Amino acid sequence: MREMNEKSKIENVYLNYLKEKSELEELISECRREFEQLEEKILLDKDSYNKLRIFSPRQNMRLEEDVIKESKEKSDELTKKIKAYKTKLLEVENNIKAIEQIREKVKAQSGVEILSMNENDRKRIARDLHDSTIQNMVYLIHKVEYASKFIDQDPTRAKLEFNIVTKSLKDVIQEMRDLVYDLHPMNFDDLGFETTLMNFFDNISHASSMKVSYEIYMEYEKYNQLILITLFRIIQECCSNAIKHSKGKKLSVLLKEDKKLLILRVQDDGTGFSESDIEDKDMKHFGLKIVKERVSFLSGNFYINSTEKGTVIQVEIPIEND
């Protein structure tokens, strides 16, 4: 599936119209300069004929008439050009006004999308807390209540139960740490994008049965922190989605710069899924919908090809050259 970024397309059309307007204004200026040069030429020719006095007055008159005729033809031609250019310029200016109105609407819509993405993030966090952490805490409360009944009657059994509670509490703490890490990797600010990304790949390699491989070809220094953290979240979600749901054995990640694009490709050899699942908030691939939104905020494009032999996710983000 190819998801074209409408905002990027609108911006390209807008820039093309601005460029066309500038070119038309230059063409009109050139025609006016030609007009001025033509007038100067007529005056110079008439003056030169009068000064030379080589020809008879009648011959001079004919020469002037020929010059005037030729000049009029050129003048008419320039007038037609200017009229055509002005007509086209008016059309382009009207198109620019229309595109500017669309840009304003898109800008307003982007604000709504940002709110939507924030709300989706909150829902996901709430669901994660409810499905894991809160459920585990409720379970631990029951275990503590159950163990307390044996403190006087059977201290050994009570101790064993409390040991189970202690281990479960450590698991809950780790879950909370993972959730905090998902919200913002603590070491990102200190270690930077590259080291954080390498640590992430190492962690999922050890925690998952999938064989994880990656290739990175990009200059991290030229990107601001907001773009890098957004890119990290995209990689994190794509990899987590593959590990949780693909049932595959291999996961590969490619991140590279290609001309004016930053390309991310995440590929697995799992069972694949229906692309309609992405749009369904109740489905397990809901996280990929948030990935699409993040990509759109970077004016990028998001592609998915999922079959029974595996899934390929590709993200293309334009590189802004300062």
Q: What is the pLDDT of residue 246?
A: 86
pLDDT at 215 over 80: yes
Lowest mean per-residue pLDDT among 117-131, 208-222, 274-288: 274-288
Q: Token match 């003056």: residue?
A: 47
**Coil, strand, or helix at residue 218?**
coil
Asked if residue 214 and residue 320 are part of one domain, the reply reads yes
Look at 154-163, 183-192, 292-301 and tell me which has the smallest mean pLDDT. 183-192
- Co-location of 216 and 105 in the same domain: no
Of 83, 115, 147, the residue that ends a domain is 115
Residue whose tokens read 């990935």 = 291
Domain range for 308 is 187-322
3-class secondary structure for 66-114? HHHHHHHHHHHHHHHHHHHHHHHHHHHHHHHHHHHHHHHHHHHHHHHHH
Number of domains in the chain: 2
Residue 83 lies in a domain: yes
Last residue of a domain, one of 67, 82, 115: 115
Pairing of strands 310-318, 301-307: antiparallel
Backbone angles phi, psi at 256, to 5 degrees: -150, 160
pLDDT at 4 over 50: no
Whether residue 195 lies inside any domain: the answer is yes
pTM for the structure as a whole: 0.52
- Give the CATH number for residue 237: 3.30.565.10
- Whether 148 is covered by a domain: the verdict is no
pLDDT digits (tens, 9 = 90+) for 5-30: 566 777 778 788 888 888 888 888 88
Q: Are residues 295 and 205 in the same domain?
A: yes
Q: Which residue has the tokens 């809901």?
A: 286
Dist CA 130 CA 119 (whole Å): 16
User: CA 81, CA 72: separation in Å to the nearest integer?
Assistant: 14
In this structure, are residues 146 and 138 in contact, taking their beta carbons and an 8 Å threshold? no
> Which residue, of 51, 84, 115, is where some domain finishes?
115
Query: Is residue 249 in some structural domain?
Result: yes
In a domain, 150, yes or no: no
Strands 211-217 and 250-258: parallel
